[in-house]
Amino acid sequence: MSLTEIQDQIIEEFSQFDDWMDRYNYLIELGHDLPAIDPKFKTDEYLINGCQSKVWLHAEYADGMMKFTADSDAIIVKGIVALLVRVLNNQEASEIMNADLYFIDKIGLKENLSPTRSNGLVAMVKKMKMYSLAYHAKHKGQ
């Protein structure tokens, strides 16, 4: 699926909930469904700076696509990173670098997070885009 299709799917899913308590519960469910990150990547090297909670993110480049795995020690944050992985995983690095992640605003995520969690969200997106930029530059022309 394309970035747009996945984002539209997420917007549709979140539109089914009338209030943010239900949306938080859904985020928690999404976090439970996040595929496990290999324990060898749960080190300081893979921690995202700028997050109040611990968030580990691993990225690799295979067959022209970015592959992300992640985890967090906080249940809401784990749901947030699960959404980002869902949107950006198995996408081309160039697509991710230039992606407009409009679903974040459309579902009201940023405005319903504490300032520290909102900063963490920005840090997660930035890190995923930086990984994509690095892999794109490294593999350009191959």
CB 77 within 8 A of CB 53: yes
- Residue 139 is predicted with a pLDDT of 79
51 given a catalytic annotation: yes
The tokens for 114 are 């504490």
What is the spatial distance between Cα 96 and Cα 1, in angstroms, rounded to a whole number?
A: 13
HEC assignment per residue over 71-112: EECCHHHHHHHHHHHHHHCCECHHHHHCCCCCHHHHCCCHHH
- Residue 142 is predicted with a pLDDT of 56
Q: How far is CA 122 from CA 80, 84, 119, in A?
A: 11, 11, 5
Contacts of 113 (CB under 8 A, 6+ apart): 80, 121
114-124 pLDDT, tens per residue?
888 888 899 99
CB 41 within 8 A of CB 85: no
Contacts of 74 (CB under 8 A, 6+ apart): 52, 53, 54
Mean pLDDT by 10 residues, the chain (142 residues): 96 95 95 94 93 92 93 94 97 94 94 86 95 88 56
Exactly one of 3, 48, 51, 87 is catalytic; which is it? 51
